[in-house]
Amino acid sequence: MKILGISAHYHDSAAALVIDGLPVCAVQEERFTRHKNDAAFPLLAIEWCLKNASVEPESLDAVVFYERPMLKFDRILTCALRAFPHSWRAFPAAMKNSLGEKVWVRGIISSHLGVPGRKILFTEHHQAHAATAFLTAPTRHAAILTTDGVGEWATLSVGEGERFQNGATKITLLREIKFPHSLGMLYSTFTAYLGFPVNEGEYKVMGLAGYGRPTMVDKVRKLIHRTPDGAFKLDLSYFDFHTTAESSYSSRFVELFGPPRNLYEPIDLETSEGQRFADCAASVQRVLEDTLVDITRALHKETGLPDLCLGGGVALNGLANARILAESGFERAFVPPAPGDAGCALGAALCADRIHFGNPDREVPDHPFWGPSVDGSELARLAGEDGYAFDECEDDALIEQTADDLAEGRIVGWMDGALEFGPRALGHRSILAAPHSAAMRDRLNREIKYREEFRPFAPVVPIEVADRYFELPPGGRRLARFMSGVFPVRPEWRSRLEAITHVDGTTRLQALERATAPRLYDLLQAYERRSGIPVLLNTSFNLAGEPIASRVVEGYSTFLRSGIDVLVVGSTRITKRESLLTKTKEAVA
């Protein structure tokens, strides 16, 4: 049975193809269009998935969209009515937006792919999140928590998933919290207040939180109240996101927290203003964590299950995930590599396969590499055309050479095999560097990532020795598999791992199994033979504002435009020498 899953129209659209119960490919549209978090209908991603699997659209058994468009429209219209007359500005834009395209999803899919309308199915948004979280996790019976900004109406859902001995699968969502009461929107409101782009800058808030103290927790608690049944509600007088698209917070919010940051002014943590913003970030982070811990603790008590599957954009918050693991009572927490909306494409397809069609459960491979692959010969061609010397060598020699480069302080662009699905570079599209000195972190921020100084870098370490360098609680290794948890660096190693140790002594590590990315694993071991530590700094292969490089030519252009010293694609390696670009300009001028 061939099932195509699609997520689109909000942010980070994606397509995923499931054949006979197993994912075959999954990729975000941004990786083709090169527009970060591209929300457009993912035509290029769909085309690639179908072509890669040699599937004609007419042979698809079903196409599954990741939410119910009419239910979402119901929410948009209802919110506009409830906010009358304050919603008069937002109403025309919302209607044009919805009625122009978003409610006609069945027709759009049908016309693009030529599949009949009866083959087009719809999951609920949080059902797709739950399916992504549970059906890709190696567990038979688990509690499920999905949290994000908003889907149709739900902003947070809890439930259970179970795989039975006879191959049947069941996902039951038990209850939900409805819009506008939303943990994701609370966090996003602070993201906007702190001058970062919503749905993109939440990582920055989390990074900034490390520099602050949660001195404003009481103020944040004025915004979110716990209800007697253990849920929460927002005090909507502090927010505007439910009435207008132009602003997330109200004037009352500004009265409480002070003036917002101008997005063009960098945060200077040496000033009281900069510290205020950091304290704001730390405070909302604390309240988010406390709320999630309370909800998951109650869920654990209710279900009595040892495993918890987390889905939705909020599951990208590694600090919160680590606290949930430590304090909720669950023994293991599973976060898929793409817990956000992009991952819903895969979740929707798997949900249709297991739940709608009732196909027997199959174990989903436990890795994130479902995108297009790279070929070293392509780099050789590009380098040859541009007059760059390149090496093509055997794996062992290449890994030893790359380890030498890293040990000598060079920064390496690393492209290997299939692209990761999800926002994180997990060893196939990475920029690697020695993790030891703060100077390396500063160099990466300054010459390569062009990003704020307060943002931390993550390490990758073989899973077997992760405990030696990092304080992992029971279950921590699993959370660290896809960089989903933030854990302390052991104090005795912090001075030797400065580049990946955040100001609060933590890091968001990736614990790597050899089977997941064997060449990177071998590189870690080769690096250990030189430095004594099998840890590398691993950051995504992109520059600020760009999606992760997918094709070789994108990695190559990133290499040329930045301070990356060495580029490795498959078995091909090039190093930087004099700037060919300058020569080209002079020659042409």
Partner 1 sequence: MSVMHSSLAHFRPTGFDRMLAPIHRWVWRDSERRVQKLLRFGQTETDGGHDILRAAEMTSDPLLRRLYLKHAIDEYRHGELFRRRGTALLHTLPSKPEPAFQADWLAPGGHGLDDLHVEDESDNDLLAFLHLSEKAAASRFTVYRDVLRNDGPTCAVFEEILHDEVFHMSYTLTQLARVSPQHHRRHLWRARLGRLWKGYLRIATVLAGAMGTLFLIVQYFILLPPFVLLAKRAARREQPGWTPISADRNGSLDRQY
Please report, as residue ranges, which positions from 253 to 282 form the binding site for partner 1 (by CB under 8 A): 259, 262, 264-265
Query: Which residue in 54, 116, 165, 229 binds partner 1 (CB under 8 A)?
Result: 229
Query: Which residue in 13, 37, 98, 127 binds partner 1 (CB under 8 A)?
Result: 127
Q: How many helices (H) and strands (E) does the chain have?
A: 22, 24
- Residue pair 535/552 in contact (Cβ under 8 Å)? The answer is no
In the range 358-387, which residues lie near partner 1 by CB under 8 A?
385-386
- Residue pair 21/359 in contact (Cβ under 8 Å)? The answer is yes
Query: Which residue in 30, 148, 176, 290 binds partner 1 (CB under 8 A)?
Result: 176
Told to check if 390 binds partner 1 by CB under 8 A, we report: no
Query: Which residue in 233, 301, 446, 529 binds partner 1 (CB under 8 A)?
Result: 233
Count Cβ neighbours within 10 Å for each residue of 313-330 and write b for 16 or more, e otherwise: bbbbbbbbbbbbbbbbbb
Pairing between strand 307-311 and 332-334? parallel
**Nearest to 521, CA basis, from 409, 410, 417, 374:** 417
Distance CA 275, CA 486 (A): 22
Query: Which residue in 124, 290, 307, 341 binds partner 1 (CB under 8 A)?
Result: 124
Told to check if 551 binds partner 1 by CB under 8 A, we report: yes
Taking the complex as a whole, the smallest distance from the CB of residue 143 to partner 1 amounts, in Å, to: 15
Q: Which stretch binds partner 1 (CB under 8 A): 226-234, 391-399, 418-426, 452-460?
A: 226-234
Q: Which stretch binds partner 1 (CB under 8 A): 115-123, 206-214, 390-398, 532-540?
A: 115-123
In the range 8-67, which residues lie near partner 1 by CB under 8 A?
33-35, 64
Total residues interacting with partner 1, rule: CB under 8 A: 71
Nearest to partner 1 of 158, 499 (CB atom): 158
Told to check if 150 binds partner 1 by CB under 8 A, we report: no
Taking the complex as a whole, the smallest distance from the CB of residue 53 to partner 1 amounts, in Å, to: 22
| 382 contacts: CB under 8 Å, gap ≥ 6 | 552, 553, 556
Mark residues 72-91: x for contact with partner 1 by CB under 8 A, - for none.
Answer: --x---x-xxx-xx--x--x
Query: Which residue in 26, 171, 224, 523 binds partner 1 (CB under 8 A)?
Result: 171
Can you read off the two tokens belonging to residue 89?
Answer: 């500005």
Q: Which stretch binds partner 1 (CB under 8 A): 16-24, 224-232, 452-460, 467-475?
A: 224-232
Taking the complex as a whole, the smallest distance from the CB of residue 515 to partner 1 amounts, in Å, to: 32
Taking CA atoms, 179 is separated from 55, 71, 164, 182, 279, in Å, by 39, 12, 33, 6, 27
Nearest to partner 1 of 190, 559 (CB atom): 559
Told to check if 178 binds partner 1 by CB under 8 A, we report: yes
Told to check if 162 binds partner 1 by CB under 8 A, we report: no
Can you read off the two tokens belonging to residue 169?
Answer: 């699968």
Query: Which residue in 316, 352, 431, 461 binds partner 1 (CB under 8 A)?
Result: 352
Residue with tokens 């948004």: 125
Told to check if 70 binds partner 1 by CB under 8 A, we report: yes
**Nearest to 128, CA basis, from 366, 350, 370:** 350
**Nearest to 540, CA basis, from 427, 463, 405, 418:** 427
Distance CA 462, CA 508 (A): 14
Peptide bond into 69 cis (omega under 30): no
Told to check if 122 binds partner 1 by CB under 8 A, we report: yes
In the range 91-110, which residues lie near partner 1 by CB under 8 A?
91-93, 95-96, 105-106
C-alpha distance across the termini of the chain, in Å: 58
Told to check if 301 binds partner 1 by CB under 8 A, we report: no
For the chain, the residue count is: 589
Query: Which residue in 289, 290, 554, 565 binds partner 1 (CB under 8 A)?
Result: 554
In the range 556-585, which residues lie near partner 1 by CB under 8 A?
557, 560-561, 580-582, 584-585
Told to check if 138 binds partner 1 by CB under 8 A, we report: no
Nearest to partner 1 of 56, 265 (CB atom): 265
Distance CA 261, CA 223 (A): 19
Burial of 286 (0-12, 13-18, 19+ CB in 10 A): buried
Q: Which stretch binds partner 1 (CB under 8 A): 389-397, 430-438, 460-468, 543-551?
A: 543-551
Taking the complex as a whole, the smallest distance from the CB of residue 173 to partner 1 amounts, in Å, to: 5
Query: Which residue in 4, 135, 205, 231 binds partner 1 (CB under 8 A)?
Result: 231
Distance CA 537, CA 406 (A): 10
**Nearest to 139, CA basis, from 298, 336, 323:** 336
Nearest to partner 1 of 7, 510 (CB atom): 7
Half-sphere exposure at residue 8, Cβ-oriented, CA atoms within 13 angstroms? 24
Query: Which residue in 138, 230, 365, 491 binds partner 1 (CB under 8 A)?
Result: 230
